[in-house]
Amino acid sequence: MIKLAVFGKPVVQSLSPRIHNLFAKQFGLDIDYQAIEATAETFPDQVTELSANGGRGCNITAPLKRNAWQLADRSSDSAERAQAANTLVFHSSGERHAYNTDGQGLVNDLNSRTDFQLSGARICLVGAGGAAAGVLGTMLQSGPDCIVIINRTAERAAGLEKAYSDLGPIRSCRPEEIGSEPAFDLIVNATSLGHRGLAPELSCSWLKPGGLCYDMNYGQAAEPLRRLCEKAGIPYSDGLGMLVGQAAVSFQLWTERSPDSGVVLKQLRHSFC
């Protein structure tokens, strides 16, 4: 029995238990993956308990990703730069290793499902919070022509620019300045506006012909931007594939097995229809 969990607040709606159980079935593995409500105060003791009871690791969702990074003894470069982790791996030595698999999930989904190639692309990243920080490193390592970050708070966008500038061409600008930029191949929405029934302001003029708007949200949180894009004639993709993709990387870290993400994504899409 492989003991795993996802911690967050709220966490009852998490698809992670279902996704990882579907992964486990591909290999005939027996797992116990629990969704556990946690706060910043209870989280450290809950992680310790899971590890002490033979747990192999855990996923972490909002608002505890920074707490997870702080708990770790070692961190991957992506987790260290973002100062946030969505995956902890427990080792027999007692050490906890932190990873942020969001960026790899996003890139894998773009490459495998949309056939979009980040190499040489002009990308607009909307948002400068933890979600944006979690994917920036992997996106830059994929060799884009440029990533331009826009955010309502210019200082946060500038902070990300400074933190990731050594990995590739990146700069920040104010939302009102984006209209003067050359058109982009890809727009990535890393804001949480969809959870409040809102969408960032976008224009089809921002995109080159054949360009794509990729929303890191999925489910109900993706509907506001989906409707905006449909009305404006902007090609759109939600982030359900990213969710499955980042989970696949976590699963491989825990089990050393690489699951078929495409099959699981199709099963989830079918259940949502």
Query: Cα separations (Å) of 239 from 221, 225, 258?
Result: 10, 12, 20
* Contact (CB, 8 A) for 134 and 106: no
**183 DSSP 8-state letter:** P
Cβ atoms 184, 210 nearer than 8 A = no
- Residue 65 falls in the annotated catalytic set: yes
Q: Report the greatest alpha carbon distance in the chain.
A: 56
Helices (H), 147-235: 154-164, 223-232
Backbone angles phi, psi at 50, to 5 degrees: -60, -45
- How many Å apart are CA 262 and CA 149, to the nearest integer? 30
**What distance in Å separates the CA atoms of residue 181 and residue 72, rounded to the nearest whole number?**
40
DSSP H stretches of helix in the chain = 16-27, 43-52, 65-71, 77-82, 102-113, 130-141, 154-164, 223-232, 240-255, 261-272
Provide the H-helix boundaries in 114-164: 130-141, 154-164
Of the candidates 3, 9, 65, 208, the residue annotated as catalytic is: 65
How far, in whole angstroms, is CA 86 from its chain's centroid? 9
CB atoms within 10 A of CB 146: 17
Active site residue ranges: 65
